[in-house]
Structure 1
């Protein structure tokens, strides 16, 4: 996510450029040009060096004068986790993990503060979601994310097919 100031500068620049030929565009948001922004407020917020939570929130686009002109489109299906197995059956473990991720984004999962910290910013990860890394951690993660990959890596359908 970019800071709101970047969008505000873009707005002023487009008003100047597009308002050169048509004066009415100087009064229109982004000079009347449709702009499509994509993002997820549950993921990455603007980076404010040495900033507090309030500083980060104030730097978001939804705190800008532009926000009232935005039209929000919402995706209703999370694409973060493929909830199906390679055979097309719903994987309850993945579905549970996906639900947990969404609950984190919605602020439902309680956070904790470490000793000496003012803010609660730590979330406990349930043990069922932690990959056992006996020996080779990277290999363990690959095997958990891509089960049976080594056996099926030459199978084009397995490597290309999207399971939605």
Structure 2
């Protein structure tokens, strides 16, 4: 189908670097534009612009600018080019629920302090970079959603990413950090920015007022440092994160960077806390486990294990309290 062929052509432009893209265009233009030609049989100019607009959008969504390829005098009309460049700013169209907007009064004391601190910086257009430290269950995602909704409703562009796809799916408009900021999975020997300054993604970054990166402890420090260098490059300054307000969040008691066949020293050196940027972040803390408010003993038990302070039997095993154990010897016990 023509749409699939246009996507294939865009993929070839990005990843295969053809020496003469205009030659490919001339050879296959008829099949690229077949659906548009069928819809507008007597409007060749419109068919050309619709075909170009779609390919331009596909190329931009992959992190490149259509203008970086040599197509001779073939170009998108200025009005269409502006519209295409706005496609990447999908954060403007993220649905905002009234529940998230009205959640400010539901924040606990620690959450409200973090919310006010970050919100005030964004509204006043002041610089700042934070790390929101909170164990699982302390309401980090709830805080993120409330913050994103109340900033976006005022027309501010806020980018939400996470180190894993599961965490990203919990954030409105969330993407993985590798997808959004074009961070390669293997950065060794390739530390240059993958984002063109003329791309719509670069425009999005320059226009955004806040970036939230959830589950940051899961990312290697090299990825975060690459992100920081990319921000400086895209924003054309030497300020930390290009002068943007960035909020990292997570819990170092949970999953840390996974480095196959690494030594303990290598694993530690790849942790975010070993980066020179770590000391430059303002630390915000959440300690109240909102999921276990009715069972504080369980919350404290989990924290003790994460802190390494809970007694280990034989140096390996942890004895679970009977209150949290369900016997598996009787079938009815599992059903209950």
How does the TM-score come out when normalised to structure 1? Answer: 0.62
Equivalent of 2:293, from 53, 78, 83? Answer: 83
Give how far 1:35 is off.
0.9
- Please, which moves more after superposition, 37-46 or 128-137? 128-137
2-structure distance, mates of 1:37, 1:122: 33
Q: Which residue of 2 aligns with 1:125?
A: 320
1-structure distance, mates of 2:293, 2:320: 19
Equivalent of 1:49, from 237, 246, 260? Answer: 260
Give how far 1:51 is off.
2.2
Q: Deviations over 1:5-56 (max 9, x none)?
A: 110110111111101xxxxx2x211111111111011111111112233322
- Please, which moves more after superposition, 41-50 or 53-62? 53-62
1:15 aligns with 2:210: no
**Root-mean-square deviation (CA), in Å?**
2.3
1:104 aligns with 2:282: no
Which secondary structure does the structure 2 equivalent of 1:35 belong to? Answer: strand
| Higher helix fraction (1 or 2) | 2
1-structure distance, mates of 2:319, 2:231: 45
1-structure distance, mates of 2:261, 2:316: 16
Higher Rg:
2
2-structure distance, mates of 1:106, 1:53: 18
2-structure distance, mates of 1:111, 1:12: 42
How does the TM-score come out when normalised to structure 2? Answer: 0.32
Give how far 1:110 is off.
2.8
- Aligned positions, number: 118
Gaps of 5+ in 2: 1-217
Looking at both structures, which has the greater relative contact order when contacts are Cα pairs under 8 Å and sequence separation is at least 6?
2
| Higher strand fraction (1 or 2) | 2
2-structure distance, mates of 1:36, 1:4: 15
1:6 aligns with 2:207: no
Gaps of 5+ in 1: 20-24, 85-93, 114-119, 144-164
Give how far 1:68 is off.
1.6
1:36 aligns with 2:244: no
Which secondary structure does the structure 2 equivalent of 1:55 belong to? Answer: helix
2-structure distance, mates of 1:100, 1:18: 45
